[in-house]
């Protein structure tokens, strides 16, 4: 747990966690941009790049133990949060809806969610954190 | 500008936007519930973050489509960096794994519509009959 509800927010420690999360998010965002652009350049499919980074981020979240504040801030809130995205996915799905490409909508809304949840739960079991 | 310098420049913009977006998300979905002593606020706040980020991303995408000018920094810093770092799919899936089915359903349905609404609001993707291009 990063911080528990009711905890006093001590400023220096909180600022440190925010700074660590900012670094992780910056790295994750750059990695996402490179991945999506690589998929767009090589396969003309930015949507598959988004799917790929979202699944990878779910693995990261499942594998990182949720007990230490700095690790949680760096990898879960920062890196995985920056690596994954809802906004780009929503824009891709909105474009597919506008063009009435319903198979693509099905792939990226219920399909991607089912895949991501399965990957997350499988990674959590592998990490020994299944409950 | 050389290809390498352009790539570095873009990475800096995306990274800076991602850092700002990530901090904004942490503020809303982690620090606000902790300060309020109400962890149950976190799922609806994450929904609000993903919805507002999708709306902004749709608006900017539509704007970039409409405007016939170089929007490279808007794309890198705000659209890919800020909006991408602000919204989170991994956080959404982690939340879904522990419950909140209504929030999950609302996120899946409303985020694409929020992006579509943003596109419409910016005028970049106007509703128009097929075969009647602008």
Share of chain A above pLDDT 70, in %: 88
> Any idea what DSSP says for residue A7?
-
For residue A96, the number of C-alpha atoms closer than 13 Å in the C-beta half-sphere is 19
What is the pLDDT at residue B127?
Answer: 52
What is the pLDDT at residue A22?
Answer: 97
pLDDT, chain B, mean: 89
pLDDT tens readout for residues A6-32: 455 667 788 899 999 999 999 999 999
What is the pLDDT at residue A69?
Answer: 85
Q: Note whether A82 contacts B: Cβ–Cβ < 8 A.
A: yes
pTM: 0.90
* Dist CA B99 CA B42 (whole Å): 12
Contact B85 A54 (CB under 8 A): no
Residue A4 has pLDDT above 60, yes or no: no
Contact A33 B23 (CB under 8 A): no
Contact A30 B125 (CB under 8 A): no
pLDDT tens readout for residues A81-101: 999 999 999 999 999 999 999
- Say if residues A33 and A104 touch (Cβ distance below 8 Å): no
Contacts of A106 in chain B (CB under 8 A): none
Q: What three-state secondary structure class fits A84?
A: coil
What is the pLDDT at residue A118?
Answer: 97
pLDDT tens readout for residues B53-97: 999 999 999 988 887 666 788 999 999 999 999 999 999 999 999
Q: Note whether B48 contacts A: Cβ–Cβ < 8 A.
A: no
What is the pLDDT at residue B101?
Answer: 92
Residue B132 has pLDDT above 50, yes or no: no
- Residue of B128 and B103 predicted with greater confidence: B103
Q: Note whether A124 contacts B: Cβ–Cβ < 8 A.
A: yes
CA nearest to A15 within chain B: B23
B62–chain A nearest CA distance, Å: 10
Q: Note whether B106 contacts A: Cβ–Cβ < 8 A.
A: no
Q: Note whether B57 contacts A: Cβ–Cβ < 8 A.
A: yes
Question: What is the torsional sign of CA A73, A75, A79, A83?
Answer: negative
Q: What is the DSSP string of A19-82?
A: HHHHHHHHHHHHHHHHHHHHHHHHHS-HHHHHHHHHHHHHHHHHHS-TT-HHHIIIIIIIIIHH
What is the pLDDT at residue A13?
Answer: 81
Q: Which residues contact A72 (CB under 8 A, 6 or more apart)?
A: A1, A2, A64, A66
């Amino acid at each position: 747990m990063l911080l528990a509800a009711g905890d006093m927010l001590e400023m220096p420690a909180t600022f440190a966690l925010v700074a660590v999360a900012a670094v992780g998010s910056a790295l994750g965002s750059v990695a996402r941009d490179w991945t999506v652009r690589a998929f767009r350049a090589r396969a003309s499919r930015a949507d598959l790049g988004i799917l790929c980074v979202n699944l990878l981020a779910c693995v990261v979240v499942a594998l990182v133990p949720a007990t230490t504040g700095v690790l949680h801030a760096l990898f879960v809130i920062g890196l995985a949060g920056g690596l994954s995205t809802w906004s780009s996915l929503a824009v891709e799905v909105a474009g597919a809806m506008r063009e009435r490409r319903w198979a693509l909508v099905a792939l990226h809304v219920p399909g991607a969610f089912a895949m991501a949840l399965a990957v997350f739960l499988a990674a959590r079991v592998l990490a020994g954190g299944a409950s | 500008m050389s290809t390498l310098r352009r790539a570095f420049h873009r990475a800096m913009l995306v990274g800076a936007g991602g850092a700002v977006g990530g901090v904004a998300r942490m503020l809303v979905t982690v620090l606000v519930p902790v300060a309020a002593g109400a962890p149950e606020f976190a799922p609806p706040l994450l929904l609000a973050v993903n919805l507002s980020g999708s709306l902004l991303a749709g608006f900017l995408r539509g704007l970039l489509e409409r405007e016939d000018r170089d929007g490279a920094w808007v794309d890198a810093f705000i659209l890919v960096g800020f909006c991408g770092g602000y919204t989170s799919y991994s956080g959404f899936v982690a939340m879904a794994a522990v419950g909140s089915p209504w929030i999950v359903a609302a996120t899946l349905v409303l985020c694409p519509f929020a992006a579509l609404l943003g596109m419409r609001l910016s005028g970049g993707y106007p509703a128009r009959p097929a075969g009647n291009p602008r």
